[in-house]
Amino acid sequence: MRAENHTPRRLDKIEQAADVLGDRWTILILREAFYGVRRYGELARNLGIARNVLAARLKALVADGLLERRRYRTDPDWYEYVLTGAGRDLYGAIVAILHWAEVHLPEAGERESRLRHRPCGRLVRAKVVCAACGGELDPGEVDVELAKPRRSEPTARHAAERTSGKRAANA
């Protein structure tokens, strides 16, 4: 959900990601998608979310390219929501959030979610590593370098927001 009341101080990838992911329901919908839940009714039931809020978040996730809306039944048309490649790429971040909650919020809920890695049978622990050397990343050992701005392709929703904003300004 794009922040309507926020003027960016330094537009970077973290801020852009926060605009897309920075809503409680968005994260929980993605969690359900990673757990294999695809259908609107199941999402509504599992999350206890108001249907209008769920519809708005699903529409935004589709517009941002994280979910794909696929028809699975006709007459009437029924749809399911499937993770796209961009959505699946968030799995590491979701696992890292779960790991953080297990460590820092030990009594967060009555039912804990545990992830087990099928190939080895062990419980999953999130670990962020350097792709080049394999070393675990520590914020004290990482330097921030500001790259030159590059032009990137906006998501369909963000392109539409810019277009509608231009139309409103020209009216």
Domains of the chain (ranges, CATH numbers): 7-89 (1.10.10.10), 90-140 (no CATH)
Least reliable range by pLDDT among 7-11, 28-32, 164-168: 164-168
How much is the pLDDT for 166? Answer: 46
Residues β-bridged to residue 136: 129
Q: What φ, ψ does residue 42 adopt, rounded to 5°?
A: -65, -40
Share of the chain above pLDDT 90, in %: 59
pTM: 0.76
Residue 68 phi, psi (nearest 5) = -115, 135
Higher pLDDT, 150 or 104: 104
- The full DSSP string for the chain is ---TT---SS--HHHHHHHHH-SHHHHHHHHHHHTT--BHHHHHHHHT--HHHHHHHHHHHHHTTSEEEEEEETTTTEEEEEE-HHHHTTHHHHHHHHHHHHHH-TTS-SS----B-TTT-PBP----B-TTT-PBP-GGG-----PPP---PPPHHHHHHHHHHHHHHH-
pLDDT digits (tens, 9 = 90+) for 12-32: 888 889 999 989 999 999 999
Residues 6+ apart with CB under 8 A from 141: none
Between strands 67-73 and 78-83, the pairing is: antiparallel
Residue recorded with tokens 């359900």: 32
